[in-house]
Amino acid sequence: MPESSYHSEMTIKTQLENLSSKLKPGSRSLVFLAAGLLLAGWLLNTPSGVLGKTDAVGYAVCHRIEGRSFHLGERPISFCARCTGMYVGAVMAMVYLTILGHRRTGWPTKGILGILGLFLVAFGVDGINSVYQLMFNSALLYEPNNTLRLITGTGMGLVIAAVLLPAFNQTVWRRFSERAVIEDWGQFAGLLALCLLFDLLILTETPFFLYPLTIISALGVMIMLTMIYSMALLILFRKENRISHYHDLILPLSGGFIMAMTQIILLDLGRFLLTGTWDGFHLFLG
């Protein structure tokens, strides 16, 4: 329920009893153990090094075509330009929006929603144009390039954040705010400026910036999948709107993490069995 209409507090004991009603202590330990084992198994069977692990995350969600990726020296980073923009944009936007307002669930104003809608359309148009160029070796609307892929991907990341964060807050928290996640044009302008700054840093292809932003991209994939699966589990077990404190999120987030890692592992395994390599797709691009 919203903060404005919330009139009673539950005791810590009752909160914990409600949160634990579906899982006994031993079962909770099994959840944590399963999460640890999945992560350990994935870490041991994926390429070595930090960038090797980010490659393995990107391998599950991105084509990783070298010509459509930015580079650390001669090495392509773990995500294509579009995915880099999308995941970095989504993470930065969620951090920014969380700082702006605590547990907000309201939609932005119609004008801001309209701009976000344009970002969604631009993402689709640029994606279709790039796929057409890949398939037919000629541009459909314009010559695609990594700068446009990065920018349209970032715009899509903002759309994802503006939808996912309020949905997560409304599903998880007992007390939340009905205020808009983006309340005015000033807040939106600040968000756009922040994402533009990170896009400019990526475009420099300077290792000092590109290395941590590649890690952020990989973390973004895991964070968003974990959030989505955690919401699904809370709804499945009818535990939505039961959590009051961040430490109470450990159990549902662990369950969401297990499902997120399972998806990444299965996609990694399937792609590796098909290609026999951890590299991106090797295609001749005109």
The string of pLDDT tens digits covering residues 105-149 is 999 999 999 999 999 999 999 999 999 988 888 888 889 999 999
Residue 130's domain comprises 23-66+78-275
Q: Would you say residue 265 has pLDDT above 70?
A: yes
In a domain, 2, yes or no: no
Examine residue 148 and state whether it is found in any structural domain, yes or no. yes
Residue with structure tokens 């990594």? 146
Q: b/e per residue, 177-194, with b = 16+ CB within 10 A?
A: bebbbbbeeebbeebbee
Q: Is residue 145 part of a domain?
A: yes
Q: Which pair of structure tokens corresponds to residue 21?
A: 């009603």
Note whether residue 283 is domain-resident. no
> Which candidate, 281, 217, 265, places its Cα nearest to that of 79?
217
Beta bridge partners of 177: 104
Residue 16 within a domain: no
pLDDT tens string 184-203: 999 999 999 999 999 999 99
Backbone angles phi, psi at 188, to 5 degrees: -65, -40
Structurally, the chain folds into a number of domains equal to 1
d(CA 263, CA 35): 13
- In this structure, is residue 72 part of a structural domain? no
In a domain, 197, yes or no: yes
* Dihedral sign computed on CA atoms, order 243, 247, 251, 253: positive
Is the pLDDT at 1 greater than 70? The verdict is: no
Q: Answer yes or no: is 61 within a domain.
A: yes
